[in-house]
Amino acid sequence: MLARAIYNTGIRLYRAGVGLAAMGGKKKASLWLNGRQHWRSRMQQAGIGRHPLIWVHAASLGEFEQGRPVLEELRRQYPGYKILLTFFSPSGYEVRKDYPGADYVCYLPLDTYRNARDFIDIARPALAIFIKYEFWYHFLTELYTRKIPVLLVSGIFREGQIFFKGYGGMFRRLLQQLTHIFVQNEASLRLLQGIGIQTASISGDTRFDRVAALLTEQVSLPLMEQFAGGHRLLVAGSTWPEDEQLLASWWQQADRQGMKLVIAPHEIHESHIRQIQSLFPSAVTWSALKAGAAPSDVLVIDNIGMLTALYCYAYIAYVGGGFGKDGIHNLLEPAVYCKPVIIGPEYSKYFEAVELVALKGALAVSGLTNLDDYMKRLLNEPAFYEKTASVAGNYVMDNKGATGKILQYIQENRFLSRE
């Protein structure tokens, strides 16, 4: 089959590219390769497959957080099953490799026929759950062949994807092999129905359930409280260089009214941190602050995993990514804390951002003028601030419930035993 041959060639080329990147000193590529070495013996030594098992797969950290409510509810309702959590990307695995909600956490092996066969031989899952996307041909085909139920949760589909192209037949068949597809919105459901997929339904996005849970999991950060010192905070999360340049331009010319700035960049490698510090010469890093450095009015977070806790300290949140081709990051995390959210202009691929901008709970800016106008209003007009903040918080709470729909489907179809 030509399409499969092309796919297999692409997989081999991807592996070769990662190898070259690792040889060139790219840390992420090295982690990707090293984490997959001897994976068969690692799984066997860990005892994976010796007990009834549910397999949950996430591409990276964001997808894990998205599917986390489903994983944790499965663990609560079906304690007789072990949970295997796999990641494709080091940015997920390296942060959550010690996640206590799963019994085993590992990398997903490269998608080859042999790897898929051996992985499923060892794991023997009773149920497999893929979060949002990750349509690996050999893994999904092997699961289908063995009649193991597979669910896609929080799926989102767009017209430009390969499934809806004339040459996308192989991937359309993968969708047909999935036991059920839970999608986030009506547009995704219509696209699937348009190519004959009937095993799909709208559940909503499990991210709403996840971020709503943050309200009961608030983490205290005394050092952050010390840094704030009673000042209002602008917390900029998951920023890219374009975001940081815009914020620096505003910071240098604005009437900040004593506000302090916290920047949690998407990439925390040393050269990027130095680049941010060149834009904000007075900035201090979190690591330096912990070591006793003198406080400043700008704080740069040089680690991963703090952002969700940081947003609850914000007066205003800025969510990065909206000036690049990849689009904005998770704006629901600050919204749940009833914080006004500012984003860049590239958000059309994210239905929650489209809806929240339309409701005026998120404010989209295209440059310095927009940003300055909105910041002045948020800082000087209490009624505008309160309305924007309450819309943001209410939007999250009004869209909860996807996890319950997915668990109900699992229960009704008796994929798992409660014994």
- N residues, the chain: 419
The neighbour count for residue 211, using CB atoms within 10 Å, is 27
CA atoms within 13 A on the CB side of 78: 24
Which two structure tokens, joined as six digits, stand for 91? 């940015």
Which has the closest alpha carbon to 406: 67, 107, 170?
67
Which has the closest alpha carbon to 379: 262, 258, 283, 230?
258
- Which strands sit side by side in the sheet containing 127-131, from one edge to the other? 104-107, 82-87, 53-58, 127-131, 150-155, 180-183, 200-202
C-alpha distances in angstroms, 362 versus 265, 332, 354, 373?
A: 20, 10, 9, 14
Which two structure tokens, joined as six digits, stand for 261? 């700035």
User: Residue 1: exposed, middle, or buried by beta-carbon count in 10 A (0-12, 13-18, 19+)?
Assistant: exposed
Backbone angles phi, psi at 354, to 5 degrees: -60, -45
By DSSP bridging, strand 200-202 and strand 53-58 are unpaired
User: Which residues are tagged catalytic?
Assistant: 63
CA distance 280 to 291: 20
